[in-house]
Amino acid sequence: QVHLKESGGGLVQAGGSLRLSCAAAGRTNTYYSMAWFRQAPGREREFVASITSTGGRTTFADSVRGRFTISRDNAKNTVDLQMNSLKLEDTAVYYCAAGNWNPDPNEYPYWGQGTQVTVSS
């Protein structure tokens, strides 16, 4: 009954930027922490960033800290991921998720369908 939809993925050169957006149905953003995960071919899904229900706390994976920013607008039921200084290893399908403030994907019961981010040299 909770629906999440990612957008903003695409092809970008290394060093460039992309902004991903996740739209949530209903009032999901006011009850759940939100997170971004990513998964590259042949690899397990990995945590990228999360933000609490009020936006008061954020956390980032070491691999993206200082380059990515997560934010949310509860009035619009959206959560964004600003991705700067992109690297080849950032290439993956990026997923929006709603759940607990935790890097474990098992703590997130609601997921979007994913959006592809491809970084080229």
Query: For the segment 38-95, what is each residue's pLDDT rounded down to a tens digit?
Result: 999 999 999 999 999 888 899 999 999 999 999 998 888 899 999 999 999 999 999 9
The confidence score (pLDDT) of residue 74 equals: 80
**Per-residue pLDDT at 29:** 55
Rg of the chain over CA atoms, in angstroms? 13
At 38, which helix (H) or strand (E)?
strand 33-39
CB 119 within 8 A of CB 88: yes
Q: Is the pLDDT of residue 116 over 60?
A: yes
pLDDT at 104: 93
pLDDT classification of 30: cutoffs 50, 70, 90: low
Note the pLDDT of residue 31. 77
Average pLDDT, rounded, for the chain = 93
The pLDDT confidence band at residue 21, using thresholds 50, 70 and 90, is very high
Query: Tokens 């999440």 appear where?
Result: 4
Q: How many residues does the chain have?
A: 121
